[in-house]
C-alpha cells in the first residue's frame, strides 16, 4: 500500500469529515485520475514542466492537477 492510501485510511477512521470526502464519488474519480496523471508523467520520465509543454498547458496547471488543488474533469 502506498503512503497516501495508508494515510487516507487511518485519517478516515478518526475524522468523519475526511471520511465523507473520501467516499464522495467525485473525489474518488479525481483521486484516481490524479494518480493516473502522475503515473503517466513519471513513466515518461518527464518533469512537470516537460509534461506541460508536451500536452500544451502551463506547468502550474499540472502541479494543481497533481496536488488536488484543481479538480480534473472528463470531457
Q: Provide the whole-model pTM.
A: 0.69
Per-residue HEC secondary structure of 10-73 comes to: HHHHHCHHHHHHHHCHHHHHHHHHHHHHHHHHHHCCCCHHHHHHHHCCCHHHHHHHHHCCCCCC
Contact 51, 65 (CB under 8 A): no
Residue 4: per-residue pLDDT: 65
pLDDT of residue 55: 96
pLDDT tens for residues 24-65?
A: 887 788 888 888 999 999 999 999 999 999 999 999 999 999
Domain boundaries, the chain: 3-67
Averaging pLDDT over each range in 2-6, 8-12, 64-68, which range is the top one?
64-68
- 3-state SS assignment for residue 9: helix
Instruction: Please state, in angstroms and rounded to a whole number, the distance separating the CA atoms of residues 49 and 40.
Output: 14
User: Residue 3's pLDDT is what?
Assistant: 64
Amino acid at each position: 500500500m502506498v503512503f497516501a492510501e495508508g494515510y487516507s485510511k487511518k485519517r478516515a477512521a478518526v475524522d468523519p469529515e475526511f471520511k465523507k470526502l473520501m467516499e464522495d464519488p467525485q473525489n474518488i474519480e479525481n483521486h484516481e485520475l490524479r494518480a493516473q496523471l502522475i503515473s503517466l508523467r513519471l513513466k515518461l520520465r518527464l518533469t512537470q514542466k516537460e509534461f506541460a509543454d508536451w500536452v500544451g498547458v502551463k506547468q502550474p496547471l499540472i502541479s494543481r492537477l497533481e496536488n488536488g488543488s484543481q479538480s480534473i474533469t472528463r470531457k
